[in-house]
């Protein structure tokens, strides 16, 4: 059975400030992860039989570049679109738009950001990406985003949609999925 490796990008400047969305670059710690990821790949991955994939966003592409990779870019793997709230911190949303904040907390799966996406939307987009990547033809190594990683893991493991938005997907950790088996390799 083919192996699918999933990693979030290294810690971004927005992760440090607890900001939603944006299209920024990595923090110093995120840069260190990109380099560590390169070592991990050199030591554990057969690059001949592996396809490397990122989203089209700066933080995933920078992570891949630091790891010495030249991946395919897939727009359908871009992070959930936070619409009007893109660039705000979670604290700002809670303070300025309390009813939106509560609505998302109450139903994170179905909640759609104003002029943006919901996890239901994102699940659809992730399924489309999976169809285009064709995971059966070779091993795949994806450098993606928190919400997209949740969707992808949920789809691959056949979890119920309700579980997807709550899943823990830690930074600086390579997740390996083979069949129904999932293992975590913390690099930093
Ligand atoms: O915080 C990083 C991030 O990738 C944001 O860009 C995105 O909106 C968020 O994670 C998704 O996680 P959650 O759905 O828990 O807010």
For strand 173-178 and strand 3-8, is the pairing parallel, antiparallel, or unpaired?
antiparallel
Residue among 87, 107, 120, 145 whose CB has most ligand 1 atoms within 8 A, to mutate: 145
Which one of the listed residues 61, 104, 125, 145 is annotated catalytic? 145
Specify the ligand 1 atom closest to the Cα of 19. 1
pLDDT value at residue 76: 98
Backbone angles phi, psi at 88, to 5 degrees: -90, 155
Full-model pTM: 0.98
Task: Output the residue whose Cα is nearest ligand 1's atom 6.
Answer: 21
Q: Which residues of the chain have pLDDT under 70?
A: none
pLDDT digits (tens, 9 = 90+) for 106-149: 999 999 999 999 999 999 999 999 999 989 999 999 999 999 99
pLDDT value at residue 21: 97
79 is annotated as an active-site residue: yes
Q: Which residues contact 27 (CB under 8 A, 6 or more apart)?
A: 10, 11, 12, 13, 15, 16
Pocket lining for ligand 1, CB < 6 angstroms: 15, 20-21, 79-80, 82, 145-147, 165
Q: Which residues contact 127 (CB under 8 A, 6 or more apart)?
A: 155
pLDDT value at residue 1: 87
Check if the interface score ipTM surpasses 0.90: yes
112 is annotated as an active-site residue: no
**DSSP state at residue 174:** E
């Amino acid at each position: 059975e083919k192996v699918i490796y999933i990693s979030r990008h290294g810690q971004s400047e927005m992760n440090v400030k607890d900001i939603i969305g944006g299209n920024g670059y990595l923090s110093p710690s995120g840069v260190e992860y990109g380099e560590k990821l390169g070592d991990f790949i050199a030591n554990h991955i057969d690059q001949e039989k592996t396809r490397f994939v990122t989203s089209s966003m700066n933080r995933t592409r920078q992570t891949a570049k630091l790891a010495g990779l030249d991946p395919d870019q897939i727009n359908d793997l871009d992070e959930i679109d936070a619409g009007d709230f893109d660039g705000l911190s979670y604290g700002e949303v809670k303070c300025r738009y309390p009813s939106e904040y509560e609505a998302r907390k109450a139903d994170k799966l179905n909640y759609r950001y104003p002029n943006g996406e919901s996890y239901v939307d994102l699940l659809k987009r992730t399924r489309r990406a999976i169809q285009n990547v064709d995971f059966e033809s070779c091993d795949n190594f994806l450098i993606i985003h928190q919400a997209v990683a949740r969707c992808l893991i949920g789809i691959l493991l056949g979890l119920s949609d309700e579980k997807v938005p709550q899943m823990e997907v830690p930074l600086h950790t390579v997740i390996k999925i083979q069949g129904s088996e999932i293992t975590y390799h913390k690099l930093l």
